[in-house]
Amino acid sequence: MREEISIWFFGGVLFLIYGVIVFSEGLWELGHPLVNPPVLNNLHAPIWWGAMMGIAGLSYTVKFWPKKHKS
């Protein structure tokens, strides 16, 4: 009998992927400054948000990882 996979697992994977993408874009911005930077650009929000999203996604992915049960 197969165990159902929690929706939180898929949400965690998706959040982890988005976090990596946003974090990578923030790092890319450090080396390639924007022509018209937004207000408070010096806070590097994509790096912080990407890191937080990645950590949250990783924790949900690990916590709700599908487990194999012995029959």
Q: Evaluate the CA torsion angle 27, 38, 43, 34 in order and state its sign.
A: positive
Residue 25 CA to residue 23 CA, distance in Å, equals 5
DSSP state of 42: G
| 3 close to 69: Cβ distance less than 8 angstroms | yes
pTM: 0.85
For 25-50, what is each residue's pLDDT tens digit?
999 999 998 899 999 999 999 999 99
Q: What contacts 51, CB < 8 A, 6 or more positions away?
A: 19, 23
